[in-house]
Structure 1
Amino acid sequence: MTVLTIVEHPAAILEKNCRPVTQFDSKLKRLVRDMQETMIKADGVGLAAPQIGLDIRLAIVDVEDEHGLIVLINPELVESSGKQTDIEGCLSFPDLYGEVTRPNVIQIKAFNVKGQPYTFRAEGFLARAILHEMDHLDGILFTSKVTKYIPAEELERVDS
């Protein structure tokens, strides 16, 4: 596996609407493994293809719960409800954090690495992580949704 370079803002690809994945092959499976390795090394919970410089609708999420790695290929939001506000960060914006409001419960449809469609329901932090990564595929950055920025030093005090 390979640890890939994470693209940081203001790279143009981060604000691009990505094209659908059409090839479900061994190259895609290898890319997903490399993205997973990169995300783990960066201590993230999600990573989208534009964050590694690729213009495709592929993202992964792993919030270390019972679901394990979730691969989102050509994902679509089917349904959402409720509201939650919490602090978000992004691997493409090192040391930048802010409060973002998102739906609390979501249902998505997507494809797995074999090209098989599936639907998935998530709530709370997992829903937040999935929506954050899906936004990347549409060129939407979390900074456009921040209602209040949180200094990194303040977060460190909370985590202690």
Structure 2
Amino acid sequence: MAIRQLRFVGDPVLRKKSRKIENINDRLLTLLDDMVDTMYKEDGIGLAAPQIGILKRAVVIDIGEGPIKLINPEIIEQKGESIDVEGCLSIPDESGMVKRPERVKVKYMDINGEDIIIETDGLLARALCHEIDHLDGVLYIDKLEKEEE
């Protein structure tokens, strides 16, 4: 495993759309392991491949229940809304209030090539939305709630 170099706001790779992953191979599995190691080193709860300069639809998340490795994740259903504080490893020392769905259903492929559907709410739902946004070149700062005057 290796720690990868994070990309920070202003880096053009963070604004590009990631490519769908066609094959699960050793290189991809190493990438996902490296992403987990990098996320832990940086004390994050999620990391998307573009944040380390790789435009592939790969995400890792750990909200305290062990790492989840998601290949080609997509939100297939969302319900409700919730506004809460978010930060991002690619935008250090900043945070802001962001509106997200309260509950999401996400389809992804696991490292064995199996299609998985998870339905969740709370922090995991927020983290999934945040990381999937990264795959489309969207940062949380694009969705900040306007402060009331």
Equivalent-residue separation in structure 2 for 1:115 and 1:15 (angstroms)? 28
Query: Structure 2 counterpart of 1:76, which letter?
Result: E
**Which residue of the partner structure matches residue 155 of structure 1?**
none
Detail structure 1 runs of 4+ shifted over 6 Å in the superposition: none
Distance 2:19 2:113 in 1: 16
> How many residues matched?
147
* Map of 1:95 onto structure 2: 93
In structure 2, how many angstroms separate the alpha carbons of the residues matched to 1:36 and 1:135?
18
Counterpart of 1:53, as a letter, is G
Q: Which residue of 1 aligns with 2:31?
A: 31
Query: Which residue number in structure 1 is paired with residue 145 of structure 2?
Result: 147
Q: Distance in 1 between matches of 2:51 and 2:85?
A: 20
SS in structure 1 at match of 2:145: strand
2:119 aligned residue (104, 118, 121): 121
Question: What is the DSSP-based 3-state SS (H/G/I as helix, E as strand, rest coil) of the residue aligned with 1:147?
Answer: coil
In structure 2, C-alpha distance between the alignment counterparts of 1:127 and 1:25, rounded to whole Å: 28
Counterpart amino acid of residue 3 in structure 1: I
Distance 2:50 2:11 in 1: 9
Q: Give distance in 2, aligned partners of 1:114 and 1:2.
A: 22
Residue 76 of structure 1: aligned partner: 74
- Displacement, 1:148? 4.9
The answer to whether the 8 A contact 1:75-1:134 is kept is yes
- Residue 131 of structure 1 aligns with which residue? 129
Residue 78 of structure 1: CA displacement?
0.9
Is 1:7 the counterpart of 2:30? The answer is no
Structure 1: runs of 5+ lacking an equivalent: 150-160
Indicate if the aligned counterparts of 1:25 and 1:114 stay in contact, CA closer than 8 A: no
Which SS does the other structure have where 2:24 is aligned? coil
Unaligned runs of 5+ in 2: none
Within 5 A, what are the aligned runs for 1:32-51? 32-51=32-51
- Cα-Cα RMSD: 1.1
Contact 1:47/1:59 (8 A) holds in 2? yes
| Cα deviation digits, residues 112-140 of structure 1 (max 9, x gap) | 11221110111011100010000000111
What is the percentage of aligned positions where both structures have the same residue? 41
The residue identity in structure 1 corresponding to 2:138 is: I
